[in-house]
Amino acid sequence: MFGPSIVFIYYLVTTVVRSQPSADIFRSFAGYIPEEHRVIHHEWQNSGKFQGDIDGVDPNLLKLPEGPVLFNALKNKQLTWENGLIPYEMDTAFSPNEVKILEKAFDSYRRNTCIRFEKREGQTDYLNIVKGYGCYSQVGRTGGKQEISLGRGCFFHEIIVHELMHSVGFWHEHSRADRDDHIRILWDNILPGMKSQFDKISAVLQDLQGENYDYKSIMHYDSTAFSRNGRNTIETVEDGFTQVIGTAQDLSPLDIVKVSNL
Do 226 and 183 meet the contact criterion of CB atoms below 8 Å apart?
no
Residues 6+ apart with CB under 8 A from 206: 71, 72, 73, 74, 75, 171, 175, 176, 177
Catalytic residue, candidates 36, 163, 235, 238: 163
Q: Please indicate if the annotation marks 166 as binding a ligand.
A: yes
CA distance 74 to 90: 25
User: CB 257: neighbour CB atoms within 10 A?
Assistant: 16
User: CB 92: neighbour CB atoms within 10 A?
Assistant: 7
Burial class of residue 249, CB neighbours in 10 A (0-12, 13-18, 19+):
exposed
Told to judge if 163 belongs to the known catalytic residues of this protein, a careful annotator would answer yes
* b/e code 46-71 from CB counts within 10 Å (16+ = b): bbebbbbbbbebeeeebeeeeeeeeb
Residues 6+ apart with CB under 8 A from 162: 44, 53, 218, 219
CA distance 238 to 153: 32
Q: Please indicate if the annotation marks 42 as binding a ligand.
A: no
Do 208 and 72 meet the contact criterion of CB atoms below 8 Å apart?
yes
Q: Please indicate if the annotation marks 172 as binding a ligand.
A: yes
Known binding-site residue numbers? 162, 166, 172
Query: Residues with catalytic annotation?
Result: 163
Known binding-site residue numbers for Zn(2+)? 162, 166, 172
